[in-house]
Amino acid sequence: MTEQLALHSAFAIPNSQFATPVEINDLTVAYRDKPVLQDVDLSFPEGKLCAIIGPNGAGKSTLIKTVLGLVPAAAGSVRIYGKPYVEQRRLVGYVPQRGSVDWDFPTTALDVVMMGTYGKLGWVKRPGKAERDAASHALRQLGMEQYAERQISQLSGGQQQRVFLARALAQDARIYFMDEPFVGVDALTEKAIITLLQELRAQGKTVIVVHHDLDSAPEYFDWVALLNVKLIAAGPFDTTFTSDNLRRAYGGAMTAAIKHFAHFEEDMKSEVRSKK
C-alpha cells in the first residue's frame, strides 16, 4: 500500500482540504417519468468507509451510477472535489456489481487489472512495465497473483470479485465506489475485501459502498446513508443507524427485523458512554 501512496503524490488534489470528496445537490433521476431518486442532497466525508443502505428499488445503485455519469440525471448536480465528474474521473475508482460484467470476455486477470491504469496513460500511450508491475502488485495484495494469466471466465465468483477490486486498486484513486462487493462471495474473499477497505481508509481514501447486510454494516463501516428514493438520513453510524431511521427507510414490512437490530442502538450508546 505504501508504494501506491507514494505514487499518489503526482496526482494531488489542489486545496482538497477545502473540498468535499462527493457532493450531491437536489439530485433527481427518473425512469419513464417514475422517480428513482428524488431531491437527494448528500455529501460524503473524506477518509471514511461509507455505506449506502436501503430496500430493494431504493435507488442505491442508481445513485452511484448517476455520480459516475452512467445514468443521466433529470435534475440536480454532482461535484467531485468541487468539480464535475468528467474533470475528476481519474480520481474515482468503480467496482460494479459482479452480475453486470461479461465474464466470458476473453482476457486474463492481469489484463483486467491493468485496465485500472489506463486513465493515467491517456488515449495514445500503451501500458508498459510500470503499469504491469502496478497491476501485479494489486493482484498480490488481494492474494490473486498466482491467477494473473488465468482467463477471468475460469475464476470462481469470489476470485472474479477480487480481480475487479485489484483493478480499482491499480487505479490509485482518491474515491472508490463499490456496488455490493460482498454479494455472492466466500468468507475468504469477504475478509480480503474488508481488509482492503480498511487499508484504503488508513491512506485517507474515501470508500462508498452499496451494502445490503444490516447485520455486518455497523462492523464494517463508519458512516451511513439510508436511502429509499429520497434520502432518509446520513451521518456516523452511532447517530444514524437507529431503529427509527431503519423503520423510515424500510417501512412496516421491516418492523420485525428492525426489532432484531434495535440492540445496535443500545450497544453503540453503551460504547459512547464508556468512552466518556
> Which of 12-26, 34-48, 178-192: highest mean pLDDT?
34-48
Q: In this predicted model, which residue has the larger pLDDT, 10 or 269?
A: 269
Integer Cα distance of 151 and 132 in angstroms: 17
Q: What percent of the chain has pLDDT over 90?
A: 41
Give pLDDT, residue 2: 39
Give pLDDT, residue 255: 57
**Lowest model confidence (mean pLDDT) among 113-127, 170-184, 188-202, 210-224:** 113-127
pTM of the model: 0.82
| Cα torsion angle, 168, 174, 178, 181, sign | positive
User: Are the CB atoms for 89 and 119 separated by under 8 Å?
Assistant: yes
Task: Give the three cell numbers for residue 15.
Answer: 486545496
Q: In this predicted model, which residue has the larger pLDDT, 142 or 104?
A: 142
66-89 mean pLDDT: 94
* 273, pLDDT greater than 80: no
Non-local (6+) Cβ contacts of 185 within 8 A are 157, 158, 161, 193
Which phi and psi angles does 103 have, rounded to 5°? -75, -5
Which phi and psi angles does 21 have, rounded to 5°? -55, -50
Query: What is the DSSP-derived secondary structure letter of residue 255?
Result: H
- 22 confidence band (pLDDT: 50, 70, 90): very high
* 14, pLDDT greater than 80: no
Distance of CA 239 to CAs 85, 103, 154, 201, 216, Å?
30, 40, 44, 21, 17
Instruction: Give the model confidence (pLDDT) of 163-194 as tens digits.
Output: 888 888 888 889 999 999 888 888 888 888 89
Give pLDDT, residue 101: 66
